[in-house]
Structure 1
Amino acid sequence: MDVYYFYSYGTAAWMALQAAPLIASPTMIVALLSPEVREASTLEVYFSRTLGMSLITVGILNVLLTGSVPLSSRLTEDAGVSTSASDPKAPYALPTMTITSAFHAACAFYMYTMWTESGAFAFGLGVLASGFFSLVALWCILFASSDGRISRKTGADKRTSGFPFKNSEAASEKKKGKKGI
């Protein structure tokens, strides 16, 4: 499975998992969060269910905008996901991944502060899940977002440099080329 698909569907599943109790039982959420057991107010129920539906909406938008689900009816032989700006299948893949990565990072930071304050195990799990998805998105943005410029002669990426270590493989290819001339 491609890392883009993993991130898109994993993010949508994580957001749906968070949204399910907010939509299904806002009274239970209020009972868990308040010091005294009481019935949830109409405003609390409204905000809980709206937040749950918003999380599901953002998860679905993430799947659609990263190109995991083709939005065109045209079938092509290339089923891979490309994040280049000229690709019509996923023109918003990188901006969507950047925004959802920032969302996951902010959620992980907030859950970490709550975990250190309260010591609740659920916040620790939330830190791990949101932090993991934030790092996966960051990895995709940095390393898997553009086609590498691979040299036909050496097979190495042309954008690499020798700093701070010397590229001995490239140097040996240069020496071989000079000897053969």
Structure 2
Amino acid sequence: MDVFYAYTYGTFSWMALQAAPLIISPTIIITLLSPEVREPTALEEYFSRALGMSLLALGIIIVLLTGSVPLTSSISDTKIVGVSSEDNDPTAPYAVPTLTLSMLYHSAAAFLCYARFTTTHQTTFVLGSIGSGSLAVIGLWCILFATSSGKISRKTGADKRTSGFPFSNKESASSRKKAAKKEKKGL
């Protein structure tokens, strides 16, 4: 499985894990967060369930807009000979912006959990910070390295977009000089 798809499904799983207790039993969440044991008010239950449904909806939207699930009705629509799936995917224009926004969301959630941990010293905030922080790091990695296809040379197998600055590849340069001398001798 590609790291990009693992990130999108991981994001959905993390959001669904957070949404489940909010939707199923807001009483448990209110009891865990409040210093005194009491029944939640109707407003607290409403906001808890609304937040849970919002997290589920956001997770589903991330999976759909990143192209992890094909949105076409037939397989022949998505498979064209000679065209990569990235070029033919109808959701491809939304993949990078969705990835960027979800990475920013995870970064903000990790920062918020860590800030709450420093004031309350509750273990649940550390776990939330670790979960959101790891997804933010994976999202940043996907943004930096997995968003564009590399320009690979057919002759050398190296990426053409790289340069030798500030360190030159002397081994590669010497092998090119040797190959050029052999070609001159052969002619």
TM-score, normalized by length of structure 1?
A: 0.90
SS at match of 1:91: helix
- What residue is the counterpart of 1:113 in the other structure? 115
- What residue is the counterpart of 1:61 in the other structure? 61
| TM-superposition CA deviations, 1:21-47 (whole Å, max 9, x none) | 111111221122122222111111111
Matched, 1:92 2:91: no
Within a 5 Å distance, the mapping from 1:26-37 to structure 2 comes to: 26-37=26-37
| TM-superposition CA deviations, 1:36-64 (whole Å, max 9, x none) | 22211111111111000000000000110
| Separation (CA, whole Å) in 2 of partners of 1:96 and 1:163 | 33
| Separation (CA, whole Å) in 1 of partners of 2:89 and 2:167 | 36
| Separation (CA, whole Å) in 2 of partners of 1:110 and 1:89 | 31
1:127 counterpart (123, 126, 129): 129
- What residue is the counterpart of 1:23 in the other structure? 23
Q: Percent identity?
A: 60
SS at match of 2:93: coil
Q: Tell me whether 103-112 or 68-77 shows the greater mean CA deviation.
A: 68-77
Which of the two has greater helix per residue? Answer: 2
Larger Rg: 2
- What residue is the counterpart of 1:157 in the other structure? 159
Q: Tell me whether 132-141 or 115-124 shows the greater mean CA deviation.
A: 115-124
| Separation (CA, whole Å) in 2 of partners of 1:29 and 1:52 | 12
Letter in 2 for 1:117: T
Q: Report deviation, 1:126.
A: 1.1
Distance 1:74 1:167, change over 3 A: farther
Unmatched runs of 5 consecutive residues or more in structure 2: none
- What residue is the counterpart of 2:48 in the other structure? 48
Q: Report deviation, 1:87.
A: 4.0
| Separation (CA, whole Å) in 2 of partners of 1:39 and 1:119 | 24
Asked if the contact 1:102/1:134 (under 8 Å) is kept, the reply is: yes
Asked if the contact 1:105/1:130 (under 8 Å) is kept, the reply is: yes
Q: Report deviation, 1:89.
A: 4.2
Unmatched runs of 5 consecutive residues or more in structure 1: none
Asked if the contact 2:67/2:89 (under 8 Å) is kept, the reply is: no
Q: How many residues align?
A: 178
SS at match of 2:164: coil
| Separation (CA, whole Å) in 2 of partners of 1:101 and 1:110 | 14
Letter in 2 for 1:158: K
| Separation (CA, whole Å) in 2 of partners of 1:81 and 1:107 | 32
